[in-house]
Amino acid sequence: MHLLVLGGTTEARRLAESLVPVEGIKVTSSLAGRVARPRFPPGEVRVGGFGGADGMAEWLRAHRVDAVIDATHPFAGTISFNAAGAAAAVHVPLLALRRPGWVPSDGDLWHVTDSLAGAAELLPALGRRIFLTTGRMGLAAFARLDALWFLVRSVDAPEAPCPPRMEVLLDRGPFSLDGERDLLRRHRIDVLVTKDSGGAATAPKLTAAREAGVPVVVVRRPPVPDGVPVAGTPEEAVAWLRDLAAANGWTAAPCPPR
Ligand code: NAP
């Protein structure tokens, strides 16, 4: 059985780690190649785009893929729609693995919006010193906010256009609560901007903001393509694969992730 895992997330790596040792399953993980030093999962790895939905369909056919798990980041919308199109075209079962989104707690001051442009519109009314944690892509949406100062945290350096008054902090999660508290205090942050990425690795900033009474602009996720089943954890994805194997008479019986 050949499984393609569309990756770039912790969950995708965990899935590959748990399935690679299983006899009878070949796992290929696919990375976009966006970050300079990616963390490679075990098993086969391919890097770079497929060339749209048609290119992915061709790849699935040529490499005799039996199932696809789209474990990309909840905000990587294009690849997910391409995967839905490609899997449907070549009749390969597809599952989306999406970690659950964050939910507000008592004391949170959240402003939910649909896009980075929507976030940029909200900012001038909320504060002056912004902690922007939405990644290095899409900073153009904030480029005209010259009255505001930005602390931009990203894995790799952002490229222009960017906000004119900004400091860049190159870092990669997980982040600690103490570290996030310290950042908010040291940079006198009065607004936090985040995507609703979900997961524990980057959640401490939300706690730190709540404690400090800092408002948070949360960008809502794009939808999962219609008709694609969703698993919330690698464990659920393995269960889906086990059911699929049973239904097709494949012999490999994946164990739950360790
Ligand atoms: P995107 O907008 O959905 O995808 C843009 C193009 O990049 C796709 O059309 C595809 O090119 C290629 N691509 C994306 N993911 C790929 C993968 N896993 N394997 C091969 N090609 C891939 O994606 P994005 O938002 O730029 O994110 C790129 C990668 O970074 C994703 O794999 C995602 O898991 C990871 N990531 C994204 C975010 C985020 O906030 N967006 C955060 C953390 C990690 P072709 O059309 O040529 O196939």
Residue 27 token pair:
């796992």
**What range does the domain containing 191 cover?**
110-219
Which residue's alpha carbon is nearest to atom 46 within ligand 1?
Answer: 52
Position 37 confidence tier, pLDDT thresholds 50, 70, 90: confident
Task: Look at residue 84 and give its three-state secondary structure.
Answer: helix
Tens digit of pLDDT for each residue in 1-29? 999 999 999 999 999 999 999 999 999 99
For ligand 1, the distance from its centroid to the CA atom of residue 211, given in whole angstroms, is: 34
Question: How many structural domains are present in the chain?
Answer: 2
Residue whose token pair is 């902690």: 131
Tens digit of pLDDT for each residue in 134-183? 999 999 999 999 999 999 999 999 999 999 999 999 999 999 999 999 99
Domain co-membership, 117 together with 134? yes
User: Is 255 part of a structural domain of the chain?
Assistant: no
Nearest-angstrom CA–CA distance, 175 and 169: 13
pLDDT reported for residue 39: 87
Is the per-residue pLDDT at 34 higher than 90?
no
pLDDT reported for residue 69: 98
C-alpha distances in Å from residue 255, one per residue of 68, 83, 137, 196: 18, 25, 37, 30
The CB of 198 under 6 Å from ligand 1? The reply is: no
Listed residue (66, 67, 56, 62) closest to 89, CA to CA:
56
User: Is 77 part of a structural domain of the chain?
Assistant: yes
For ligand 1, the distance from its centroid to the CA atom of residue 78, given in whole angstroms, is: 7
Atom of ligand 1 lying closest to residue 30 CA: 19
Task: Estimate to the nearest angstrom the gap between the alpha carbon of 157 and the chain centroid.
Answer: 18
The CB of 138 under 6 Å from ligand 1? The reply is: no
Candidate of 72, 156, 171, 202 to mutate for ligand 1, largest count of ligand atoms within 8 Å of Cβ: 72
Atom of ligand 1 lying closest to residue 56 CA: 48
120: left (phi over 0), alpha (psi -120 to 50) or beta: alpha
**Where would I find the H helices in 67-145?**
77-90, 116-126
Domain co-membership, 240 together with 210? no
pLDDT reported for residue 257: 57
Domain co-membership, 116 together with 183? yes
Candidate of 27, 65, 73, 197 to mutate for ligand 1, largest count of ligand atoms within 8 Å of Cβ: 73
For ligand 1, the distance from its centroid to the CA atom of residue 77, given in whole angstroms, is: 8
Nearest-angstrom CA–CA distance, 28 and 198: 25
Domain co-membership, 30 together with 47? yes
Average per-residue pLDDT for the chain: 95
Tens digit of pLDDT for each residue in 212-256? 999 999 999 999 999 999 999 999 999 999 999 999 988 655 555
pLDDT reported for residue 250: 82
Nearest-angstrom CA–CA distance, 86 and 15: 21
Domain co-membership, 9 together with 90? yes
Looking at residue 180, which CATH number applies to its domain?
3.40.50.720
Terminal C-alpha separation, the chain? 21
